[in-house]
Amino acid sequence: MAQVLDPGSIVVADWHRSADSKEFFSRILHKKKRRNFGLLEAPVMPPSVSVDTVHYKIFISGKNGVGKTALAARLAGFNIPNMHYETTGIETTVVYWPVKLRESGRVLFFRLQLWDCGENALRRFDHLLPSCKEQLDAILFLFSFTDRASFDDLSNQIARGSEPCDRVVKLVVGTKFDLFMHTDVTEREVTRFQEVWGLPVFRMGGDVNNVSNLGEVAPLLNCLAEHLWHQDCVAFLCLGQIAPSVNI
């Protein structure tokens, strides 16, 4: 069972609210909205500020209709489609997120490349899932609070997405949490799942008009950054090195 880190044990929680973070978060914002970064683009800092960037590949897993594409858009601050459509192949989204390491005070930009693929496409084309899992750093397993079957399928998802002794970070996200009048999954069941599987579960709403709120995505992005950095530190310590290398 993977180690579950206490929130804020590695990165400063709610750092996006502090004054010393504004210089960094301003580089991922434009007119109070998130910037859209292409595959070859990155935040530009002043020459006097040196910030390293670490790169990670994240696969978003889940049944059709749970909101995989919507979650990727929300984490990136993009507009979310009002109508659902199935992803016909692989879609990638780049998210930049600055964090401050608690122990050293060092600031890093996490470049998270989110991979999303439709469930029917995965079934139809055998090469898509291996492509999504190649050189993978983390998986987000999704279920919808309004779809009981997607919650019951989590164990199958985790089994399909896991390999023996892999070092892939695994987190669970429950979508459409704000539609509490239509929920098919109870808090007791979510708590029991966390106890059995030892995986953090995050709750995300389905409001398509609230995509620029950093506070809504910060807990998930900070937790993802913490687990990825911790996993790298553990891996490099096993190799006798002091700290992970950094891609600049």
Note the pLDDT tens digit of each residue in 108-138.
Answer: 999 999 999 877 676 777 787 778 888 999 9
Other beta carbons within 10 Å of 186: 11
- Complete domains list, the chain, with CATH: 15-239 (3.40.50.300)
Q: What is the mean pLDDT of residues 86-109?
A: 89
pLDDT at 235 over 80: no
| Ramachandran quadrant class, 32 (left: phi over 0; alpha: psi -120 to 50; beta: rest) | left
Query: Which residues, including other chains, have CB under 8 Å from residue 235's CB and lie 6 or more apart?
Result: 167, 244
- Report how far residue 225's alpha carbon sits from residue 221's, in angstroms, rounded to the nearest whole number: 6
| Ramachandran quadrant class, 20 (left: phi over 0; alpha: psi -120 to 50; beta: rest) | alpha
* pTM for the full predicted model: 0.88
Strand bridging mode 52-61 / 138-144: parallel
- Report how far residue 167's alpha carbon sits from residue 165's, in angstroms, rounded to the nearest whole number: 7
* Amino acid making up residue 195: E
pLDDT at 179 over 50: yes
Q: What is the mean pLDDT of residues 196-208?
A: 83
The pLDDT of residue 89:
75
The pLDDT of residue 246:
52
Give the pLDDT band of residue 242 (cuts 50, 70, 90).
very low
The pLDDT of residue 55:
96
The pLDDT of residue 193:
95
pLDDT at 162 over 80: no
> What digits encode the pLDDT tens for the residues 14-30?
999 999 999 999 999 98
Q: What is the mean pLDDT of residues 94-108?
A: 94
φ and ψ of 234, to 5 deg: -65, -45
